């Protein structure tokens, strides 16, 4: 009697049972973790749990932030996970995906753009009109454009909604020539006070949601957040490196 088919069937049954058990155990852990975290952040709009390459550690997206929790729900870890062999920052990679989702609905018509004729890199820049490094970046616009970098500005008045900085950004947006008004404002010339329907508040809230804490904040097309000013050539090299890693 050929026992091979029986042995093969037994192995398949064992593998199926093991897989089902693992799935049940995973679902159980996910439920435990979510219940524990809901006691800490009961008003979280989004909570998504996934596995990580580290056994016993789960990744949890809470709104637009990433944290890590042990699979039994006992310990919460905040920080970054770096794959030393590949030099991949797994936390940044996860956050980039979140940012891309949040930025997907952006309207190009609601950005103030300074672009070269031949664009090699598109960059979203959350900016404040009064920030020193924001002004330095803007005053080098010709050099950024020369490097093939298109700057698409989004408003992030650091003092918040309703502040003098916020009102100035509204006035810039409502000006007949937005680019000229923005350039004048970044050189210390307050724009003529104007009011009109505008995206300033929405862009400020979007910036906060994707993790902007200061300006300028640069966001690449793959969702990478680069905090702070970078000289034109240095920025081009950084964007090229990111482009290569994505490809």
DSSP 33-76: HHHHHHHH-TT-S-EEEEE-SSTTEEEEEETTEEEEEETTS--E
Alpha helices in 61-131 (DSSP H): 90-103
Q: Which of 99, 128, 167, 174 is catalytic?
A: 128
Catalytic residue among 99, 130, 131, 236: 131
Inter-residue contact 171 to 194 (CB < 8 Å): yes
Please say whether the dihedral angle defined by the alpha carbons of residues 117, 111, 167 and 197, taken in this order, is positive or negative.
positive
Active site residue 131: yes
Catalytic-residue membership of 135: no
Q: Of these residues, 99, 130, 135, 158, which one is catalytic?
A: 158
CA angle 30/34/37 to nearest 5° reads 140
Contact present, 165 and 122 (Cβ < 8 Å)? no
Q: Which of 134, 167, 174, 236 is catalytic?
A: 134
Dist CA 99 CA 206 (whole Å): 10
Q: Sign (positive/negative) of CA torsion 120, 123, 44, 54?
A: positive
- Known catalytic residue: 158? yes
238 is catalytic: no
What are the phi and psi torsion angles at 68 (to 5°)? -125, 145
Catalytic sites, residue numbers: 128, 131, 134, 158
């Amino acid at each position: 009697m050929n026992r091979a088919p029986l042995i093969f069937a037994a192995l398949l049954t064992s593998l199926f049972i093991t897989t089902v058990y693992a799935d049940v155990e995973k679902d159980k852990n996910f439920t435990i973790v979510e219940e524990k975290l809901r006691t800490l952040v009961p008003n979280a709009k989004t909570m998504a749990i996934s596995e990580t390459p580290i056994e016993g550690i789960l990744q949890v997206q809470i709104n637009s932030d990433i944290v890590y929790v042990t699979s039994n729900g006992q310990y919460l870890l905040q920080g970054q996970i770096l794959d030393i062999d590949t030099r991949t920052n797994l936390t940044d990679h996860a956050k980039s995906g979140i940012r891309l989702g949040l930025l997907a609905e952006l309207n190009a018509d609601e950005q103030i753009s300074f672009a070269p004729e031949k664009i090699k890199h598109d960059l979203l820049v959350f900016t404040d009109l009064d920030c020193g490094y924001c002004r330095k970046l803007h005053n080098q616009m010709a050099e950024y454009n020369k490097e093939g970098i298109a700057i698409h500005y989004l408003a992030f008045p650091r003092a918040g909604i309703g502040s003098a900085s916020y009102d100035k950004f509204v006035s810039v947006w409502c000006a007949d020539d937005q680019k000229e008004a923005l350039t004048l404002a970044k050189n210390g010339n307050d724009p003529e006070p104007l009011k009109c329907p505008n995206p300033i508040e929405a862009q400020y809230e979007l910036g906060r949601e994707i993790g902007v804490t200061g300006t300028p904040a640069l966001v690449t097309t793959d969702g990478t957040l680069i905090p702070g000013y970078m000289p034109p050539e240095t920025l081009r090299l950084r964007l090229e490196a990111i482009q290569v890693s994505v490809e």
